[in-house]
Every structure is written in structure tokens, then in C-alpha cells.
Amino acid sequence: MSVKLHIKKGDMVYVIAGDNKGQQGKVLRVDAQKQRAIVEGVNICKKATKPNAQNPQGGIVEKEAPIHVSNLMVLDPKSGQPTKVGRKANAEGKLVRYAKKSGEEIK
């Protein structure tokens, strides 16, 4: 069963809780099943890797770990401030997401 989330791939988000509180970045991937997202430059972890074709040396690689969507807020496209997300029908009758702070539609 898939859940409707307030964030999508490509959104600019702000971290509101956890070790990375205050950071912001672009959403690279969303896992709706686990309610987690991978955000660019946020929640970096170190992972030991064996040598392979891409990395013949092997060693320690830094990569983004998933973060729970409840710890993320979408940034308002107008002001750049964290905002809640609402849904409403636009002029064509299509359901779109909008920023509650400014009323601006989120693309």
C-alpha cells in the first residue's frame, strides 16, 4: 500500500529534526513505502567498499543515507522559508500542491 507524501523528487527541502537539523537540499529519491527520502548533501554516512570497476582502489566512500519524511519540510518557492504543503485544484481542475505560507504553487 502506497502513501501520499508531501515531498517529491526534485523538491528543495529543509531538515527540521535530527542530527542534520537546519540543513537544506534537493530531494534525489523518495521511497513512499518506507516513508524515507534521500536528500543531496544531507545525512552523509561513510561506507567501506571493496574494489570494483567504478572504484578500483576501494576504500571509504561518503554517500547520502535516507531520512524520514516527517523530518523534512518543503521550502516555499517564493520566500525560501520552510512551509506546510496543501493541495487544491488549479484553473484546469487538476490537483496541485501549494505552499501554505505564500499560496504559491509548488512545481
From first to last of its 107 residues, the chain has per-residue pLDDT tens of 567 899 999 999 999 999 999 999 999 999 999 999 999 999 999 999 999 998 899 999 999 999 999 999 999 999 999 999 999 998 898 999 999 999 999 98
Q: In this structure, are strands 24-31 and 36-39 parallel, antiparallel, or unpaired?
A: antiparallel
Protein fold of 1-75: SH3 type barrels. (2.30.30)
> Residue ranges of the domains in the chain?
1-75, 76-107
73: buried, middle or exposed (CB in 10 Å: 19+, 13-18, 0-12)? buried
Please answer whether residues 78 and 105 qualify as being in contact, where contact means their C-beta atoms are separated by less than 8 angstroms. Answer: no
What is the radius of gyration, based on Cα positions, of the chain? 17
